[in-house]
């Protein structure tokens, strides 16, 4: 988002970890460090580490908020999972992007308000995720995620390997990595897994013992490497066992022309549609295995057409429209 907004001539300041990439050219992109470069967020900390992590991240967010209040910014985009922007940016034009199902720390803030903070608007990434949030934000808008179709594209030599499947994402219980393994085995398919091990206990107890010549873990791959793995597969398996808010890995696979077999959770049906793959009837190994079998025979041209409806350009134009609306409403309020 930052890179694309810079490319469109906007001046953007990104509050992030030190060492984050500089975006844009000609001084249009700036990074303001609010965390050291070596700080790592733990995916599943115990209670004491969770509380310490919240304190550390809240401190970083407070630094960003202080800089926003003293800066000459037209509008703020809040992509965080923190309640602090909902509490401390009242009166500053802000677009909150809700990337997850409702989080208790945020809904606790929203529940105490009789109305939204002045100058704030809210969007989320799918109709499925919007339904969960509308108890607190009835007029929540929807801007689906998009991917750069120039970077995620089919292998031009069409080096698909029959009998192979791919899976990518965070290796955690809610992503259902073990279910993808079971579905691939049921179809006699080779499976390549890629992504960060966010839950080491889950990986060691359920995933590592399943690895062999047929089921291989490729590591946390760079984007070009990941594209090669996905585009050469006959089918991509998307196996969320939670209410997946969107599913970027699913869209990346479709942009490579690889049909998707998905569990029926969260936004999967909304994303896959009628031509991007097959959504299983049940969220278990039997249902997903049947979806893998059916998806393996789908035409790649139809999959690509479905992916094209979720372009990065469309996403950025929608965000630009929302930002212009917020800024215009704020300017009108100041004139009145």
Contact, 82 vs 108, CB < 8 A? no
Helix axis angle for 248-255 and 300-307, nearest 10°, is: 130
pLDDT in tens, 302-319: 999 999 999 999 999 999
Using DSSP, state whether 79 is helix, strand or coil. coil
pLDDT in tens, 167-217: 999 999 999 999 999 999 999 999 999 999 999 999 999 999 999 999 999
Please determine, for residue 264, whether its predicted confidence score (pLDDT) is greater than 80.
Answer: yes
**Closest alpha carbon to 124 in 153, 106, 144, 109:** 144
Please determine, for residue 266, whether its predicted confidence score (pLDDT) is greater than 60.
Answer: yes
pLDDT in tens, 209-244: 999 999 999 999 999 999 999 999 999 999 999 999
Contact, 36 vs 55, CB < 8 A? no
Choose between 71 and 130: higher pLDDT: 130
95/99 Cα distance (integer angstroms): 13
* DSSP label at residue 165: E
pLDDT band of 336, cuts 50, 70, 90 = very low
120/110 Cα distance (integer angstroms): 12
- Give pLDDT, residue 117: 77
254/238 Cα distance (integer angstroms): 11
Choose between 75 and 22: higher pLDDT: 75
Look at the pTM and tell me if it is higher than 0.85: yes
- Give pLDDT, residue 23: 66
Angle (CA) 220 308 276, round 5°: 70
Which structural domains are found in the chain, ordered by start? 2-147+312-335 (3.40.50.2000), 164-310 (3.40.50.2000)
pLDDT in tens, 36-48: 999 988 877 777 7
110/116 Cα distance (integer angstroms): 8
Helix axis angle for 177-186 and 285-295, nearest 10°, is: 60
**In terms of residues, how long is the chain?**
336
């Amino acid at each position: 988002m930052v890179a694309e907004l810079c490319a469109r001539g906007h001046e953007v300041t990104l509050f992030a970890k030190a060492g984050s990439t500089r975006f844009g050219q000609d001084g249009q992109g700036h990074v303001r460090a609010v965390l050291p470069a070596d700080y790592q967020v733990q995916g599943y900390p115990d209670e004491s580490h969770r509380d310490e992590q919240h304190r550390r991240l809240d401190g970083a967010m407070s630094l960003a908020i202080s800089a926003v209040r003293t800066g000459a910014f037209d509008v703020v985009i809040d992509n965080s999972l923190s309640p602090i922007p909902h509490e401390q940016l009242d009166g500053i034009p802000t677009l909150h992007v809700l990337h997850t199902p409702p989080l208790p720390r945020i809904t606790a803030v929203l529940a105490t308000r009789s109305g939204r903070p002045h100058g704030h608007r809210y969007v989320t990434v799918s109709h499925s995720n919007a339904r969960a949030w509308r108890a607190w934000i009835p007029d929540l808008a929807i801007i689906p995620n998009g991917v750069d179709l120039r970077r995620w594209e089919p292998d031009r030599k069409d080096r698909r390997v029959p009998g192979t499947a791919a899976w990518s994402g965070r290796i955690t219980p809610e992503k259902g990595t073990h279910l993808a393994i079971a579905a691939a085995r049921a179809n006699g398919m080779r499976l390549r897994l890629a992504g960060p091990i966010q839950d080491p206990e889950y990986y060691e107890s359920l995933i590592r013992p399943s690895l062999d010549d047929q089921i291989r873990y490729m590591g946390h791959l760079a984007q070009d490497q990941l594209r090669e793995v996905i585009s050469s597969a006959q089918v991509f398996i998307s196996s969320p066992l939670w209410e997946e808010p969107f599913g970027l890995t699913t869209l990346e696979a479709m942009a490579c022309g690889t049909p998707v077999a998905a569990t029926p959770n969260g936004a999967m049906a909304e994303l896959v549609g009628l031509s991007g793959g097959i959504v299983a009837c049940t969220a278990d190994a039997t249902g997903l295995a049947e979806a893998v079998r059916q998806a393996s025979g789908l035409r790649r041209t139809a999959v690509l057409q479905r992916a094209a409806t979720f372009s990065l350009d469309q996403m950025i134009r929608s965000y630009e429209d929302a930002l212009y609306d917020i800024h215009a409403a704020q300017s009108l309020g100041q004139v009145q």
